[in-house]
Amino acid sequence: MKILLFAGLVLVVLGIASLVVPVPHTEREGIKVGGTNFGVQTSHSERVSPIISVVLIAGGIALGIAGSRSRN
């Protein structure tokens, strides 16, 4: 089926992108005194675990193989 092949391709692309592109994360901490807010906002970027990337790529390859075999 074309859907499995397409889903496999999407998973492979997401897996490869997750190895390279960091995910931004912003945290805000502070206190509120009366009507005034005192706080600090920090932001940093984290990459996804390589294990998750490998699982996405392997799952995408498996779906791609299943999608190409079901056409015949």
Question: What pLDDT is recorded for position 59?
Answer: 92
Report pTM: 0.68
* 3-class SS shares of the chain: helix, strand, coil, % to 5: 55, 30, 15
Average pLDDT over residues 63-71: 81
Q: What is the residue whose two structure tokens read 């998973």?
A: 11
Domain ranges of the chain: 2-69
SS3 of 24, please?
Answer: strand
